[in-house]
């Protein structure tokens, strides 16, 4: 379970941004979590809620945007979102597709109040 260290890295990043903007309050941080990131969204939300308690940033919401796995078909060059773990190309049915995304573990944006 490394979600706690991920949550801590998210909080650090928010803290850094908040210090640059005295006079406004960060109300929400939005992160993008890929299906292959190795991060469990529920565990991350839980770890985040525990860490934020008692800090100057509280109350601070964490919103997780789930990103599906993506594959690219080398035969027809289509990049597609994977549905139901089916990695075959939906256009030409080629089964030998290549990983093209879904590893995201990104800080997307913050929402602020004046």
Pairwise CA distance, residues 81 & 71, whole Å:
7
Nearer to another protein, 56 or 98 (CB): 98
Near another protein by CB under 8 A: residue from 24, 53, 55, 79: 24
Near another protein by CB under 8 A: residue from 57, 64, 78, 105: 105
- Token pair listed for 113: 């109040």
SS (H, E, C) 28-64: EEEEEEECCCCCCHHHHHHHHHHHHCCCCCCCCEEEE
Q: Which residues bind another protein (CB under 8 A)?
A: 1-2, 5-6, 9-10, 13, 17, 21, 24, 27, 31, 35-39, 69, 85, 87, 95-99, 103, 105-114
């Amino acid at each position: 379970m490394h979600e706690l260290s991920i949550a801590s890295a998210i909080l650090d990043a928010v803290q850094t941004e908040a210090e640059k903007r005295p006079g406004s309050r960060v109300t929400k941080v939005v992160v993008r979590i890929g299906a292959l990131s190795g991060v469990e969204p529920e565990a991350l939300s839980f770890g985040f809620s525990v860490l934020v308690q008692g800090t100057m940033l509280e109350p601070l919401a964490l919103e997780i945007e789930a990103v599906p796995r993506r594959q690219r078909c080398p035969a027809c060059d289509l990049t597609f979102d994977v549905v139901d773990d089916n990695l075959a190309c939906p256009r030409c049915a080629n089964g030998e597709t290549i990983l093209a995304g879904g590893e995201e573990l990104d800080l997307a944006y913050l929402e602020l109040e004046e």
